A and B are shown apart, each in its own frame.
Chain A
Amino acid sequence: MGSECPKRRSDVSARVVEGEMVVLDRDASLVHQLNVTASFIWDRCDGRCTVSEIAEQVAGAFGTNPDASKEAVTAALRRFAELGLLEHARD
């Protein structure tokens, strides 16, 4: 999983509000609020960053250890996928 490059769906709207992301998925008629960490991860789901790179950036930004960072990224990506917010999750 570390070499995959997760990509958020291009047809959802997202806004940063005081450091937290609000994501509107009109297709699903759902609106999501992401906490600061999830917002950071979401912002890097651009189809270019690998999971490992995102985890490294989380560790750098939040001062967490590598294992905890990877765990946080994996959990967030799993949740994004469950919610159908990632491109590859819709295949």
Chain B
Amino acid sequence: MAHTLTLRVLDQGVRVDGAEPTSKTLVTATYGAMRGDPGAIDLDYTVGRNIGPATFFMRRQGCEQRTAPDTGTFLARFDEDIAIELQKLRRDLYFVHAAVLTLADVALMLVAQAGGGKSTTCWALLHHGFQYLSDELGPVDLKTLEVHPYARALALKTEPPTAYPLPSNIVRTSRSLHVPGDKLPARLHKRPAPLGAVFFLRYDPLALAPSVRPISAAEAAARLYANTLNPLAHPGDGLDGAIQIARAVGCFELVTADLPATCVLVTAVLNANK
């Protein structure tokens, strides 16, 4: 039976059609938290699975079909396509590769290299009074320095530590684990939130305890720039945007270790930084 998922994402209308159960379930679970009246359709997708070899496909209207051999690759390709297209549609926003939470309606951005513990730390913080704003994309309005919500399911590469177990009904693909918005242990923050702090994460397996240090605006700007997804859409090749953010908010390097202690430290830093 045909199924249509309609989303309102960053003020853009997205429609995903599909009848095949696995691809439909994957996209709905991952993006369902952004379900809404799309208004005019800006991005129109069809997803499914070809008969014969178990090959998933996605096709955006006007573009060639892309295929994937497994669920993990399928979802990764869908994620990539929608993220790139949203960056084209919202060139006014400064997209940072980050997870974003809020505490008392102020946004906290977690930035890390792949495997740096961004999503795992985000998952843990959701158990400590933080609300969920976005994963993977941190879209910043440079005029207001607000971060817009992008409530894609929180994606984890591996099971988190036992202190923060996953619920049973999450999405597991061949590559990663995805916690849909309605399965998170905290509420979704559904409005843009002013950015209050940026934490650059570094996981040190030898660290006995987490630590945090304020970093200069120049260091923060350089680190932020390295994690910006659409710098060339902005003046000064995007460098000015990174500097603007780095100058305006508190920026820290966070060496993560024991996760509960890391969460307590982050909360304390934010409270002190108010």
Contact = CB atoms under 8 A, between A and B. Distances in A.
B239 A33 contact: no
A23 to B, nearest CB: 9
Contacts of A26: 237
B243 A24 contact: no
B62 interface: no
Contacts of A20: 216-219
A18 B237 contact: no
Nearest to A17: B218
B217 A13 contact: no
Contact of B237 (A13, A32, A33, A34): A13
Query: Number of contact residues on A: which range applies?
Result: 10 to 19
Interface string A18-33: 1111101010000111
Contacts of B165: none
Interface stretch (B22-30, B136-144, B221-229): B221-229
A15 B240 contact: yes
Query: Number of contact residues on B: which range applies?
Result: 10 to 19
B239 A13 contact: yes
A31 B236 contact: no
B108 interface: no
Contacts of B240: 15
B155 interface: no
Interface of B: 216-219, 221-222, 225-226, 236-237, 239-240, 242-243, 246-247
What 10 pairs between A and B have smallest CB-CB spacing? A20-B218, A33-B222, A17-B218, A31-B225, A31-B222, A17-B217, A33-B218, A24-B239, A18-B217, A33-B219
28 contacts: A15-B221, A15-B239, A15-B243, A17-B216, A17-B217, A17-B221, A17-B246, A18-B216, A18-B217, A19-B218, A20-B216, A20-B218, A20-B219, A22-B218, A22-B242, A22-B243, A24-B225, A24-B237, A24-B239, A26-B237, A31-B222, A31-B225, A31-B226, A31-B239, A33-B218, A33-B219, A33-B221, A34-B218
